[in-house]
Structure 1
């Protein structure tokens, strides 16, 4: 695709995010958009955000679990940058009107002590690189109308990122059983859905290795201190009502946030 077209797609998605107004899927308007050109769009908007004072603080993997792929009609994972501006706090309610059609996910988050660079990163490399893990909630939100997305659409939209909330119970990964940890999502004290970290490509270390090796294609490496989101352990749940969400990993900890109308 021509550079001018990539910038047109980037500005269209940037306006949609700023206005919280959905747009037609980019692949409908620009049929030549593929995964690599979509990542170029993602990079354009990330560089624009950094130039405007934001910063890259990590990377995310999405739709790695089959339940997520089935829910959004995809057969491959998506991935994107994590920007500092997308991180929120447990004690600060999220305003529903800031989003278009948001969903809530529960997943572990890894904070790195050592760098990781693909290709050929292994699960052992990931375990050695992670300093600690915390429970996390990701709010995903597509700028594409009705979530009518193909893989290039969500990649151009930075993996449909909305917001990230990190919990306050850091643990060394050697103290966790991330190949078999049950996660439960509650809304207003009522259990909504549950899953298991084994849904994240067998375990989230494997998902992180996959992500690192995939992004090496674009000459991206993970740096110490960065946050890595390896994907949700359960199917995402619509965030339509005001109230309080809580995601709990059994034997580990809980991450919570509220939703308000203003």
Structure 2
């Protein structure tokens, strides 16, 4: 995508977020013709966000489960950048009013311990495993700005940094059981609202990291030591409509909590 068009689209997205306007598809010369164009816009949009949101500390991978892909009518994962000021340690309290529309996604996060070399060949979970230094329960804060899912354009979603608005992490563990078999349970005010397994994330959370590493290599970058990767939600996004306490428990690993109020 031409630099001028990509920069214009990024500035338009920033203005829409600041005004808390509803999510709409990019149009005209700002509309990405390809997914690669969408990531060109995302790069420039994230560069604008870094001015007051801090540097990149990692990435989110979205739409990694059949449930989420069906929900968004998309058949492949997407990626976004996580910025330093948007990283929170559990427990936290957040206001719905600070978002266009707040969504919560219940995930397994990993911390990279050594750089994953860029390669033209798709990586595997087995190749990724030696580069993982920690795993934890996590909740992603997403802001879909009341998007119309019946008319959702994946390229505009990607350009909008794949809707990442923050992450909430439990303590990282350097020892973990088989993540594909790990069950995660979400609750609101101690009442169950959904669950899923690590295998719901592309068969295994490390497959999500492998997809991300391959995607980054296609854009001449790589996952580095210390970065965090949100591997994707084990269940459908929850959109809080009233005050409540949300908790995500990963059996044998830990729990993360978010208190939501108006």
The normalised TM-score by structure 1 is 0.92
Q: How does 1:36-51 map to 2 (within 5 A)?
A: 36-51=36-51
Residue aligning to 2:80: 80
Alpha-carbon distance in 2 for matches of 1:225, 1:51? 21
Task: Specify the SS of the correspondent of 2:118.
Answer: coil
Q: How does 1:9-28 map to 2 (within 5 A)?
A: 9-27=9-27
RMSD over equivalenced CA pairs, Å: 1.9
Residue aligning to 2:3: 3
Task: Specify the SS of the correspondent of 2:148.
Answer: helix
8 Å CA contact 1:116, 1:212 repeated in 2: yes
Residues 61-107 of structure 1 deviation map (CA, whole Å, 9 limit, x = unaligned): 10010100111222221101111122133233111011112221111
Task: Specify the SS of the correspondent of 2:194.
Answer: strand
8 Å CA contact 1:140, 1:163 repeated in 2: yes
Task: Specify the SS of the correspondent of 1:238.
Answer: coil
Tell me how many residue pairs correspond in the alignment: 259
Residue aligning to 1:56: 56
* CA 1:159–1:42: 2 relative to 1, 3 Å: same
Q: Report the alpha carbon displacement of residue 235 of structure 1 after superposing the two structures with TM.
A: 1.3
Greater shift in the superposed pair: 125-134 or 44-53: 44-53
Residue aligning to 1:178: 179
Alpha-carbon distance in 2 for matches of 1:237, 1:29? 34
Residue aligning to 1:130: 132
Q: Report the alpha carbon displacement of residue 230 of structure 1 after superposing the two structures with TM.
A: 1.2
Residue aligning to 2:254: 253
Residue aligning to 1:156: 159
8 Å CA contact 2:31, 2:156 repeated in 1: no
8 Å CA contact 1:76, 1:151 repeated in 2: no
Task: Specify the SS of the correspondent of 1:230.
Answer: strand
Q: Report the alpha carbon displacement of residue 32 of structure 1 after superposing the two structures with TM.
A: 4.6
Alpha-carbon distance in 2 for matches of 1:28, 1:193? 40
Q: Report the alpha carbon displacement of residue 144 of structure 1 after superposing the two structures with TM.
A: 6.8
Alpha-carbon distance in 1 for matches of 2:32, 2:110? 35
Structure 1 residue 213 and structure 2 residue 210: aligned?
no
Residue aligning to 1:139: 141
Greater shift in the superposed pair: 201-210 or 235-244: 235-244
Residues 142-184 of structure 1 deviation map (CA, whole Å, 9 limit, x = unaligned): 247334422211110111112200012x2225x3210111111
Residue aligning to 1:98: 98
8 Å CA contact 1:188, 1:243 repeated in 2: yes
Alpha-carbon distance in 2 for matches of 1:245, 1:38? 32
Greater shift in the superposed pair: 116-125 or 235-244: 116-125
Q: Report the alpha carbon displacement of residue 8 of structure 1 after superposing the two structures with TM.
A: 1.8
Structure 1 residue 166 and structure 2 residue 155: aligned?
no
Alpha-carbon distance in 1 for matches of 2:29, 2:99? 23
* CA 1:102–1:51: 2 relative to 1, 3 Å: closer
Q: Report the alpha carbon displacement of residue 118 of structure 1 after superposing the two structures with TM.
A: 2.8
